[in-house]
Amino acid sequence: MHWNVVGGAGNMAALQQVLAAMHADDKPGWAQPIDIMTFNEVDEITSNSSITSDQPFTALTNAINASAPPGVTYTLARFTNQSENGVGGAQAMYYRSDRFTEIVSGHKDIATGASRFTDRWLLQLNGYSDARARIYVYGSHLKASSGSSNENERNTGMTAIRNDANALGAGTPIVYTGDYNVYTNTEPAYVTLMAAGNGQGVDPYGTSNWVGSAGAIRHTQAPALSPPGGLVGGGLDDRFDFIVPSVGAADGQGFSMLASTMRAVGNDGAHYNTDINAGNNAYFPGQLTRSNDLADALWLAADHIPQLLEFQVPAKLSAQFTSTVPAKAIRGTSVPLSVQIQNVAPYVHASGVDDMAYAVSCTGGVTGTASGIAALAPAMTSVSVNLNTTTAGTVTGTVTVSSSSEAVEPPSVSLPVSVSVIRPSNPSLDATTDVDTASLSLSGSPDTGSLTVDGLIRNVGYDASQSKLDVDSVTFSGASASRFSMTQGLGAGLTTGNRTLRFAFNSAGATPGTYATTATVRTSDETAAGEQARNVTVNLTVEIGGGIYGDLDQSGSVDAGDIAVLLIRFGSCAGACPEDLDGSGEVDAGDIGVLLLLFG
């Protein structure tokens, strides 16, 4: 924002009202608190009786802070007064310290004639370190009045400004503000501001003339025909006030103006050469009361009206993996790594942020490239790269996301990757060879409880470079499947050695005959990227005899053959087995005694 406040000679309550209205000015389609304000004619001491203090400087500060939205505060930038009170006052700048930091060493006073000095300030946009996110702001008040001598003096002052700006270097973001008192687009001072060079100005309105009613929308002086309190009158018919970025702040890159948002506050273009509040004012389309209230305040506040211009800020780069990079990955499998890229620059409206071009590159054990324009947060752009898993071992690499956008912060983000690539697990159903199918059989009698038989499973060739083996589940198929279960063997983390797989058959109600099923045991690699499942199968057969208790060999009678079967199974009997006739958990002398009682 820029405004000539005529040394506080206007109505300070009205001035405060206008400031508050500017914070809420949503004419471009959005509103936000003003970030930077420059003022002309800030008089340090005056006898103006319209205010209670003899310090309009203090009164202006109070009005700025009182008009600010909740939580928003302003800081006075470096202020100097080179005995300028006699010509209305010096130039002042206020800024939001939550958004900018002043680099005081960048301040400079530039003599521009008529006992006036241009102030040059330097602000760093918070959260950015690039020099192109530093903004030079010039506040100027050039010689007033028409006539060639006054025009020449204005041009001398503008030449001094441009010489200083040109020395800042090509592409430097600069914003010129001030009451230049120029009358037409052919006046030398305006031509000098727009002349080629490092600090060339770019008029947001374009360089066409603004004289007469056709240019009324650009006029800034004077909002009243016959104002109170000695303010300059005559009606709104001159464009004396300017906000003009340099080429470096108008190229659409980094910190750059949004030209279509340029406006003279409260000027609806329909009040040429008259009071700004004559009849109805339509500055805010369809909001006559709001527009008329603003026009009434402008009529009282000063003999200039302020201007607003919006700027975009540079992009801010954020890049991260969308999920944790796996600690382990299975050799030979595809392991995509998803990277989330965002432009996280703060904004009120999406048009207030520069586009962020990005490029993705990879080194080491990560491959892939990508480029484009990153989504503006909270939206995101997702890019996939790949981990090289062809060889077991530790794989390292880096995914780098960089941006060439002007003043982007940071210019790049590096995402390191370190993953242990391991061989897949290898299940086997045999203790010495690599077997994926095995057969087990058992026999028993009806209604003798759960009959069991044991097999084994191992992880062939396990070492630190191989996945552990998880035994996840088992399914049984065939007509007799419902009688079978696996009571032992499920679980994760099998490394070396054998694990017992214990299968059980429910003999309750079984009739003599053969029962068969195929047990499909699902195994998988340990938790790792690219983990795979592998099935092994066990064919189970159960022979159920005629049902005579103690007839262990199913001969139809309890005789010496059954004693032979019992002696073969002498010893520990894990689980329920038919030879353990007394249920002691062992096949022993007690079972022989029971069997002898059953003889015949």
DSSP for 59-76 reads: HHHHHHHHHSPTT---EE
Task: Please report, in tens digits, the pLDDT of each residue of the chain (600 residues total).
Answer: 999 999 888 999 999 999 999 999 999 999 999 999 999 999 875 444 444 444 458 889 999 999 999 999 999 999 998 888 888 889 999 999 999 999 999 999 999 999 999 999 999 999 999 999 999 999 999 999 999 999 999 999 999 999 999 999 999 999 999 999 999 999 999 999 999 999 999 999 999 999 999 999 999 999 999 998 879 999 999 999 999 999 999 999 999 999 999 999 999 999 999 999 999 999 999 999 999 999 999 999 999 999 999 999 999 999 999 989 999 999 999 999 999 999 999 999 999 999 999 999 999 999 999 999 999 999 999 999 999 999 999 999 999 999 999 999 999 999 999 999 999 999 999 999 999 999 999 988 899 899 999 999 999 999 999 999 999 999 999 999 999 999 999 999 999 999 999 999 999 999 989 999 999 999 999 999 999 999 999 999 999 986 567 777 777 778 888 788 878 888 887 555 777 777 777 888 888 888 787 786
Are 573 and 444 a contacting pair, CB within 8 Å? no
Together in a domain, 394 and 498: no
Which region, left, alpha or beta, applies to residue 130 given φ > 0 means left and ψ of -120 to 50 means alpha?
Answer: beta
Residues 6+ apart with CB under 8 A from 71: none
Measured in whole angstroms, how far is the alpha carbon of residue 350 from the centre of its chain? 14
CA-CA distance, 326 to 215, in Å (whole number)?
65
Q: What is the CATH number of the domain that holds 369?
A: 2.60.40.3170
Are 519 and 511 a contacting pair, CB within 8 Å? no
- How many other CB atoms sit within 10 Å of the CB of residue 325? 17
**Residue carrying the six token digits 């058959």:** 505
The domain boundary residue, chosen from 388, 422, 456: 422
CA-CA distance, 73 to 37, in Å (whole number)?
12
Together in a domain, 286 and 369: no
Q: Is 188 helix (H, G, I), strand (E, B) or coil?
A: helix
Cα three-residue angle 491-495-499, rounded to 5 degrees: 55
Together in a domain, 481 and 563: no
Instruction: Give Cα separations from 71 to 16, 74, 227, 313 (angstroms).
Output: 17, 10, 35, 21
| Structure tokens given for 548 | 């005579």
Together in a domain, 278 and 135: yes
**Helical packing angle, 12-23 and 288-301, nearest 10°:** 140
Together in a domain, 376 and 487: no
The pLDDT score that the predictor gives to residue 87 is: 84
Together in a domain, 449 and 502: yes
Together in a domain, 20 and 119: yes
**Residue carrying the six token digits 């200083």:** 164
| Structure tokens given for 200 | 């060339």
SS (H, E, C) 548-573: CCCCCCCCCCCCHHHHHHHHHCCEEC
Sign of the dihedral through C-alpha 293, 297, 303, 308? negative
Q: Is 120 helix (H, G, I), strand (E, B) or coil?
A: strand
Q: What is the CATH number of the domain that holds 554?
A: 1.10.1330.10
Are 422 and 467 a contacting pair, CB within 8 Å? yes
Instruction: Give Cα separations from 351 to 134, 262, 335 (angstroms).
Output: 20, 14, 37
Q: What is the CATH number of the domain that holds 479?
A: 2.60.40.10
- Beta bridge mates, 44: none
The candidate with the shortest Cα–Cα distance to 524, out of 563, 493, 478, 554, is 493
Together in a domain, 503 and 575: no
Together in a domain, 40 and 160: yes
| Structure tokens given for 536 | 């092994």
| Structure tokens given for 220 | 């800034």
Together in a domain, 542 and 554: no
- How many other CB atoms sit within 10 Å of the CB of residue 143? 23
Q: Is 342 helix (H, G, I), strand (E, B) or coil?
A: strand
Q: What is the DSSP code (8-state) at residue 316?
A: B
Together in a domain, 206 and 126: yes
| Structure tokens given for 446 | 């009806």
DSSP strands (E only) in 460-563: 469-477, 484-488, 491-494, 498-506, 513-525, 533-544
Peptide bond into 33 cis (omega under 30): no
Together in a domain, 448 and 580: no
For residue 246, give its domain range.
2-311
- How many other CB atoms sit within 10 Å of the CB of residue 520? 14
Are 587 and 579 a contacting pair, CB within 8 Å? yes
The pLDDT score that the predictor gives to residue 54 is: 41
- How many other CB atoms sit within 10 Å of the CB of residue 326? 18
The domain boundary residue, chosen from 394, 422, 450: 422
CA-CA distance, 255 to 297, in Å (whole number)?
32
SS (H, E, C) 222-291: CCCCCCCCCCCCCCCCECCEEEEEEHHHCCCCCCEECHHHCEECCCCCCCCCCCCCCCCCCCCCCCHHHH
Residues 6+ apart with CB under 8 A from 169: 198
Q: Are strands 491-494 and 317-321 parallel, antiparallel or unpaired?
A: unpaired
The pLDDT score that the predictor gives to residue 51 is: 41
CA-CA distance, 542 to 504, in Å (whole number)?
10
The pLDDT score that the predictor gives to residue 547 is: 59
Q: What is the DSSP code (8-state) at residue 149?
A: H
* Backbone angles phi and psi of 341, in degrees to 5: -120, 135
The domain boundary residue, chosen from 294, 311, 328: 311
CA-CA distance, 26 to 22, in Å (whole number)?
8
Number of domains making up the chain = 4
Q: What is the DSSP code (8-state) at residue 28?
A: T
The pTM score is 0.81
